[in-house]
Amino acid sequence: MGLKTEIAGIKMKNPVMVASGTFGYGEEPSKYVDLNQLGAIITKTVTLEPREGNPPPRICETSSGMLNSIGLQNKGISDFVNLALPFLAKFKTPVIVNIAGDSPEQYAKLAKILSREPIVKGLELNISCPNVKKGGLQFGTDHDATSNLVKTVRKATNLPLIVKLSPNVTDITVIAKAAAKAGADAISLINTFLGMSIDAETKHFNLGAKTGGLSGPAIKPVAVRMVWQTAQVVKIPVIGVGGIMNGNDAIEFFLAGASAIEVGTANFIDPQAPLKIVKEIEEYLKKHNLSHYKALIGKVN
């Protein structure tokens, strides 16, 4: 069935990737899902130095969604290269590494280090994490900062660059255009919405960091809208992400203009969700007598 694709020069057997932060570095989910069947694996964000992350509680369930405030907890780039990459090298699936830093120079340094690793097929720049003071939204909410960051990283690496955008902006197309013009090979959207939840009984914040990022089916309509808007204004591929739970959700994103998708929160509910989604896309193509999913991209009437 027609699912093969190439996004930003990265060859994939299907357009279904796993979103950063919802799949770790693949090791734990590999007990439940065959990593070789995924379009690509996008790793949890890695930073230059280890990060402790935010104080708990870090998770709060909301109506058809969840808030998280993990705060980019990770062991830093050297642990990642020495421990996580060798595990991922056992699989045929392309590895895209999601990176974040406090400054454009830190992103560039990470890009240089990762460019030396043959199993890394691309980078996703996280400029949209709402849960950290540095290395997140300060780049993704300003088109000049986005442009400057992408240009700096572009000079540091030949790896394909995907820029992950935040929905916490007035007009996402402005940031998307800035990223594209500065040399991004693709754009992924959306990251989580900045949210908050309060326990009415205890009058406490439900998250240790007070605020967190909202994800899950609750945000899907906004994600579809933003993908549609962005796909109108940039020529590079748009990767849709936000609340995709099943094949139908994925089709919706293709119709809105996404060239591929990332499955995020669904991984927490069902580790096999990405593979079920691949199967459901195939069934849809068969039912609608289509030979390739690409026939759906941007075809909303």
Query: Given the rule CB under 8 A, which of 7-15, 57-65, 163-171, 174-182 is the region that contacts another protein?
Result: 57-65
Q: Distance between CA 132 and CA 25 in Å, rounded? A: 20
| Residue 270 contacts another protein per CB under 8 A | yes
Question: In the window 68-87, what residues touch another protein (CB under 8 A)?
Answer: 68, 70, 73
Q: Is 183 in the site for another protein (CB under 8 A)?
A: no
Q: Residue 163 or residue 245: which is nearer to another protein going by CB? A: 245
129 is catalytic: yes
Q: Which is nearer to another protein, 68 or 230 (CB)?
A: 68
According to DSSP, residue 90 is labeled T
Using the CB atoms, write b or e for 263-274: b if 16+ within 10 Å: bbbbbeebbebb
Using an 8 Å Cβ cutoff, are 136 and 152 in contact? Answer: no
Task: Tell me if 195 contacts another protein by CB under 8 A.
Answer: no
Q: Which of residues 139-178 bind another protein (CB under 8 A)?
A: none
Considering CB under 8 A, how many residues would be counted as binding another protein?
Answer: 35
202-221 burial code (b ≥16 CB/10 A, e <16): eeebbbebebbbbbbbbbbe
The correct pick among 49, 61, 79, 283 for binding another protein (CB under 8 A) is: 61
Among residues 268, 280, 282, 284, which is the contact residue for another protein, using CB under 8 A? 268
The dihedral formed by the CA atoms of 139, 84, 88 and 57, expressed in degrees to the nearest 10: -60
Residue pair 69/196 in contact by the 8 Å Cβ criterion: no
Closer residue to another protein in complex, CB, 238/275: 275
Pick between residue 78 and residue 232 the one whose CB is nearest to another protein: 78
59 lies in the binding site for another protein (CB under 8 A): yes
How far is 227 from 281, CA to CA, in rounded Å?
A: 19
Q: Could you tell me how far CA 79 lies from the centroid of its own chain?
A: 21
* Residue 129 engages another protein in binding (rule: CB under 8 A): no
The C-alpha R_g of the chain, in whole angstroms, comes to 18
- Across-strand partners of 126? 164
Q: Which of 129, 224, 244, 278 is an active site residue? A: 129
Do residues 150 and 161 make contact, with C-beta atoms less than 8 angstroms apart? yes
Contacting range for another protein; rule: CB under 8 A; set: 16-24, 34-42, 176-184, 283-291: 16-24
Q: Does 24 bind another protein (CB under 8 A)?
A: yes
Output the smallest distance, CB 21 to another protein, in A.
Answer: 7
**Please, which residue, 165 or 273, has the CB nearer to another protein?**
273
Beta strand segments in 9-64, E: 10-12, 16-18, 40-42, 59-62
For position 65 contacting another protein by CB under 8 A, the verdict is: yes
In single-letter form, the type of residue at position 95 comes to V
Q: How far apart are CA 265 and CA 249, in angstroms?
A: 13
Please list the active-site residues.
129
Interface positions with another protein (CB under 8 A) = 21-24, 28-29, 31-32, 44, 52-53, 55-61, 63-66, 68, 70, 73, 216-217, 245, 265, 267-272
